[in-house]
């Protein structure tokens, strides 16, 4: 046995020595058992559009294989078809909220490594032509010092395609669902020449209402993208 420090809590953890452990660092190698157990991997019966676990919903909030939120989005003519699918890794609980807060707002950049293996697997499966980080406004980028979505792409050795530019608005977390849905377009295209006929994968940290990702998907589809999916850490 050998001891290491947990990347999140910095406590010692025990691992069995193996060739895999020596040459491959996955999530299980970076977190102690207690911290790893707090990450709620999304699996089982989930919404086919947003990855929300359906077993946490009353049946009246489910229609077919979709949650009612996604059904409402797709019934809205302004938003139908803007986002083909969101793939999410974990349910958004208190532990993940704090972990992402440390990563995003306190600059603990190394925490991106925790998600690298799963992200790489999901990206390979999605097989996109372009991987696009959800951009921050220049004001928000100055506050944080880095774009957390771009950093995730770089961490898994892919090249971010900077096709979107964000128009500065009030933080999305301060808006209600209705306010997010009825916002004017919050993105603009920076390079229209490379979008036509492409499969695009958007990367962001959290899927909440889906508004941000659908704004991005809408403008990319209008520019000629044939498919827009998104991949998020949390749902």
Residues 35-74 pLDDT 10s: 999 999 999 999 999 999 999 999 999 999 999 999 999 9
Q: Answer yes or no: do 29 and 89 share one domain.
A: no
Helix axis angle for 116-126 and 148-155, nearest 10°, is 80
CATH of the domain at 132: 3.40.50
State the Cα angle at 207 between 172 and 53, rounded to 5°: 140
- Torsion sign across C-alpha atoms 187, 193, 195, 196: positive
Q: How many domains does the chain have?
A: 2
Question: Mean pLDDT throughout 173-182?
Answer: 58
| Residue 129 φ/ψ, nearest 5 degrees | -80, -35
142 and 198 in a common domain: yes
Q: Are residues 148 and 198 in the same domain?
A: yes
pLDDT at 180 over 90: no
What is the three-class DSSP state of 126?
A: helix
Does residue 9 sit in the same domain as residue 64? no
Strands 227-234, 199-206: pairing is: parallel
- How many Å from the N-terminal Cα to the C-terminal Cα in the chain? 35
Q: Are residues 5 and 84 located together in one domain of the fold?
A: no
Mean pLDDT across 102-115: 91
Q: Are residues 106 and 163 in the same domain?
A: yes
Specify whether 118 is located in the same domain as 25. no
Give yes or no: residues 97 and 1 share one domain. no
Distance (Å, whole) CA 74 – CA 18 = 48
* pLDDT given for residue 111 in this prediction: 93
Residues 74 and 175 in one domain: yes
- Would the pTM of this model clear 0.95, i.e. be above it? no
Residue 173 has what pLDDT? 54
| Domain that residue 154 falls in | 40-234
Token reading at 204:
């962001």
Question: Residue 140: which residues within 8 A CB-CB, separation 6 or more?
Answer: 166, 168, 171
Q: Indicate whether 107 and 172 sit together in one domain.
A: yes
Residue bearing tokens 């909030």: 61
Q: Does 218 lie in the same domain as 154?
A: yes
């Amino acid at each position: 046995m050998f001891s290491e420090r947990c990347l999140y809590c910095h406590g010692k953890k025990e691992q069995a020595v193996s060739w895999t452990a020596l040459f491959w660092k996955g999530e299980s190698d970076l977190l102690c058992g207690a911290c790893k157990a707090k990450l709620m991997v999304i699996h089982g019966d989930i919404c086919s559009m947003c990855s929300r676990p359906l077993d946490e919903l009353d049946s009246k909030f489910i229609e077919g294989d979709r949650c009612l939120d996604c059904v409402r989005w797709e019934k809205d003519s302004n938003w139908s078809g803007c986002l083909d699918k969101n793939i999410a890794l974990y349910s958004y609980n208190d532990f993940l909220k704090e972990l992402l807060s440390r990563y995003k707002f306190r600059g603990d950049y190394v925490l991106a490594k925790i998600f690298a293996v799963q992200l790489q697997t999901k990206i390979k499966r999605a097989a996109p032509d372009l991987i696009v980080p959800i951009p921050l406004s220049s004001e928000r980028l100055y506050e944080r010092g880095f774009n957390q979505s771009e950093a995730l792409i770089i961490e898994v050795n892919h090249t971010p395609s900077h096709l979107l530019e964000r128009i500065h608005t009030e933080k999305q977390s301060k808006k209600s669902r209705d306010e997010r849905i009825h916002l004017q377009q919050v993105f603009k295209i920076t390079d229209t020449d490379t979008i036509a006929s492409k499969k695009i994968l958007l990367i962001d940290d959290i899927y909440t209402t889906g508004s941000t990702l659908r704004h991005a998907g809408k403008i990319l589809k209008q520019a000629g993208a044939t498919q827009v999916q998104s991949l998020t850490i949390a749902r």
